[in-house]
Amino acid sequence: MARLQLKSIRKSFDGNDILKGISIDVKDGEFLSLVGESGCGKSTLLRIISGLEVPDSGEILIDDRPVTSEAPKARNIAMVFQDYALYPHMTVAENMAMPLIMARLPLHARLPLAGRFSPAARRARPDISDKVRAVAAQLRIEHLMERRPGQLSGGQRQRVALGRALVRDPGIFLMDEPLSNLDAKLRVEVRKEITELHAASGLTFVYVTHDQTEAMTMSDRVALLQKGTLLQVGAPGQLYADPANIEVARFIGSPEINFLPVEAASDMMRLGNQHLPLRLSGRTGGFTFGLRPEAIHPAGFAAAPASADTIRLSFRRTLVEDLGHELLIHGAFAALPETDVRVRLQKSHGRPLDLPESFDTLIAPEDLLVFDEFGKRIQQKPLPVRQGVVA
């Protein structure tokens, strides 16, 4: 286990800023996911942590020890690559043993013939074999030890790559989109195994992915990057429920959050051509409401909020996607017909719902996220207005 600190990491390639001053403190034993769209700089940051790239400026510390200038082998870090990087001519056992052979044996003892007569090799190889077998048992791949990578499935190759990294007893475990080459069903399986591996090992994990589902389900914390900038770091639920800005709210959550333009006066807010019984204390002008699809409830539905402050908006559907356990309804509010809105509705015991083309929806004011004209989150919630008095 190890604590990892990144301080103001910057990196450019050919005059293009890839990382723009990234600072993150990864706790000892934490699972941190770096998430963002392709090209946001997350893989570059991972390579800088491992020592495969050198930052233009900034500092990397492991357990308070500066390692920015140290070689990769001096950092006690293991890395699993997207393409697994297994040696095709070696067996699973040989692939897994290779990091220990490179670390523990002198050059002459690694050679096939000379190694047979090397006292160092004779002393070290039993311990290496024991370590490989122990890790293979942990990953449930003991039956694959004599196979070569070409004889393995994608999931099996992934486990071998994990095993080759684990045998080194690293303090920090880096993963660069390790599930991207797997099919959907296998991704779920291996995702669970990696989560269990983290819990059992207690190692510090830094995991790179563009898939928010992986980041949200596996991580203690998520760091969201965009165009080389760190937008927010926090627990998965925090990024979902309390995004710092519009970009975080847009990226986190599936289906994507709805954004609704509103105008605020001193005593009322307006959505399109409809006035809302809400106000923002001391604020007027243009704002944006963020509204999660599951926070919009058809009137009369069992989960709909029942309160005097509930907002009622007429909705017209244009498309219904039946996902089995839920419906994803596309359409628009009558007050704002040009803005696409998505409604996520759980089915009741899997039964289909007979929704008319137009129906009223109910929204609780506390479910509204408010963003200013620059896209920054306003923590203040819209206040209900009752009989001209602020509630």
pLDDT digits (tens, 9 = 90+) for 199-248: 988 899 999 999 999 999 999 999 999 999 999 999 999 999 999 999 99
Q: Taking residues 64-74, what's their average pLDDT?
A: 93
Q: Round to whole Å and give the CA distance between 310 and 364.
A: 5
Q: Round to whole Å and give the CA distance between 255 and 253.
A: 6
Q: Taking residues 42-46, what's their average pLDDT?
A: 95
| Local confidence band at 95 (pLDDT 50, 70, 90 cut-offs) | very high
Return the pLDDT at 216: 94
Q: Taking residues 374-390, what's their average pLDDT?
A: 77
Q: Which two tokens stand for residue 30?
A: 């934490």
Q: Which two tokens stand for residue 15?
A: 């005059």
Give the chain's domains with CATH numbers. Answer: 4-246 (3.40.50.300), 255-390 (2.40.50.140)
Q: Which of 227, 158, 214 is nearest to 31 (CA)?
A: 214
Mention every residue, 6+ apart, whose C-beta is less than 8 A from residue 109.
Answer: 115, 118, 120, 121, 124
Q: Strands 285-291, 297-298: parallel, antiparallel or unpaired by DSSP? A: unpaired
Return the pLDDT at 109: 61
Q: Round to whole Å and give the CA distance between 175 and 31.
A: 11
| Local confidence band at 107 (pLDDT 50, 70, 90 cut-offs) | low
Of 43-57, 174-188, 334-348, the range with the lowest mean pLDDT is 174-188
Residue type, 10: R
Q: Could you tell me which residues are beta bridge partners of residue 265? A: none
Residue type, 305: P
| Local confidence band at 101 (pLDDT 50, 70, 90 cut-offs) | confident
| Local confidence band at 387 (pLDDT 50, 70, 90 cut-offs) | very low
Residue 352 has pLDDT above 60, yes or no: no
Residue type, 386: R
Q: Round to whole Å and give the CA distance between 125 and 132.
A: 10
- Alpha carbon 136 to chain centroid, angstroms: 27
Task: Please give the residue that has the higher pLDDT: either 290 or 73.
Answer: 290
184, containing H or E segment: helix 184-201
Residue 50 has pLDDT above 70, yes or no: yes
**Segment 279-309, tens digit of pLDDT:** 888 788 999 999 999 999 998 776 666 677 8
Residue 17 has pLDDT above 50, yes or no: yes
Task: Please give the residue that has the higher pLDDT: either 350 or 360.
Answer: 360
25, containing H or E segment: strand 16-26
Q: Round to whole Å and give the CA distance between 382 and 279.
A: 5
- Alpha carbon 340 to chain centroid, angstroms: 26
Give the 3-state secondary structure of residue 132.
helix
Q: Taking residues 146-157, what's their average pLDDT?
A: 90
Q: Answer for the pair 312, 361: CB distance below 8 angstroms, yes or no.
A: yes
Return the pLDDT at 289: 96
Return the pLDDT at 125: 74
Q: Which residues of 278-294 are buried (b: 16+ CB within 10 A; e: fewer)?
A: bbbeeeeeebbbbbbbb
Q: Round to whole Å and give the CA distance between 249 and 371.
A: 10
Residue 278 has pLDDT above 60, yes or no: yes
Residue 119 to residues 100, 107, 299, 358, Cα–Cα distance (Å): 16, 13, 80, 82
Residue 388 has pLDDT above 50, yes or no: no
Q: Answer for the pair 167, 135: CB distance below 8 angstroms, yes or no.
A: yes
- Alpha carbon 222 to chain centroid, angstroms: 6
Return the pLDDT at 115: 54
